[in-house]
Amino acid sequence: MTNEIPVLACPLCRNQEFQQEEGRLDSKWGVTSHKMTLMICTRCRYILHFYDRHSIFDFD
């Protein structure tokens, strides 16, 4: 098993540069709210969504 950190690449254009933003997703009835990390491709603007604290971008 290797300890390499995976490299994020856009599934549309294969770009590896992203703008990182944070957002919230509310449930249909507004009872729950989830924090999300949004990685926005700097080339084609495709948005990758990562849920809460369980992604490779959780550095805290």
Q: Output the pLDDT for position 38.
A: 92
CA distance 18 to 58: 15
Question: What pTM, to 2 d.p., does this model score?
Answer: 0.70
Tell me the two tokens of residue 30: 């507004």
pLDDT band at 1 (very low <50, low <70, confident <90, very high): low
pLDDT reading at 60 higher than 50: no
Q: How far is CA 4 from the centre of its chain?
A: 19
Residue pLDDT, tens place only, 9-54: 999 999 999 999 998 878 777 777 778 889 999 999 999 988 765 5
